[in-house]
Structure 1
Amino acid sequence: MAQIYRRTMDYLYTACVVVGGIALVLISAVIPYAVFTRYVLNSAASWPEPLAVLLTIVVTFIGAAAAYRLNLHMSVSYFANKLPAGPRRLLEILVQLLMGAVAVFMIVWGESLVEVTWENSIGDFPFLSVGVTYLPIPVGGVCLLLFVIERIFLGVPPDPIPHSDAVSID
């Protein structure tokens, strides 16, 4: 069962990375287009900035869940690493429980935000519901919660990229 859950989390992680990566690439294309139309054509397009903001929401919530899974986020662990093994393990569990609480907050209040804004539309994208643009919040919360559960019961997943901490001088 643990192997199935870990493999499923690997697939979820890959999906989060792909979605976040696509959003980041699109942001990187949209912003230069906005600069080009504003300063070269002297006729600014109205849609690139709101689209970049919407894509930033995707990168922030979906991409952050992926970064959390492999400890690629910022963390201050100096004092925690100085603790003996027993208290350090308790602190790690406390941190995971707090991250789980953050994930539940994102799910509950993000879903509420999606529901409240579902009927509203965006001025530059009238075909797009505001609620759809906020969907990455509860979706990212679900991904984060699943990654927290994985860490609590299975530990930190292995890094898919092999690293060598040793520096060899030839």
Structure 2
Amino acid sequence: MARKESILIDKTVPLSTIESEIDRLRTTGSKSDAAMARRLELIRYRYKGLSVVQSADLLRVNIQSGYNWQAAWNRGGIEALRSGTSTGRPPLVTPHQLESVAIRAHFEKWNTRQVRQYIKLQFGVDYTPAQIRDKLTGIGMRFVQNDDSDKNDDGFWTF
């Protein structure tokens, strides 16, 4: 026999409002709106009498996420669900700092090893050569090999 839900869902918002919000979020095509629609779907299932475990299973999300979403809903409704998203871990080197590194690397014609040393000295972050390459190519830089060399790091970064 299944356990009775220990945390009840707050039903202050009409089900029709939840369903229309789900429909609206699905039509935008945005990833964040799609994620919000999934959270609201769990709330809709809870309104219809399903447990958090059953609702999470139907949506194929972790059970703890289901409980977290319900707790956010009970705390502040739709807005609490919306603001509960995490932005993730902040970068060790900010985009502004990386841009200044890139400009300097371009004008001083630095290779990957020199960029890595500068970042380590300036910001205390020890990126691998692959991470340096990914970050610099991600902001539009490219590595130019010297014509007369076959060494991997004998070249420089440029825009």
| Structures share fold, TM-score greater than 0.5 | no
TM-score, scaled relative to structure 1:
0.25
Q: Higher RCO, 1 or 2 (CA under 8 Å, sep at least 6)? A: 1
Larger radius of gyration: 2
- By percentage of residues, which structure has more helix? 1
Q: Which has the higher strand share?
A: 2
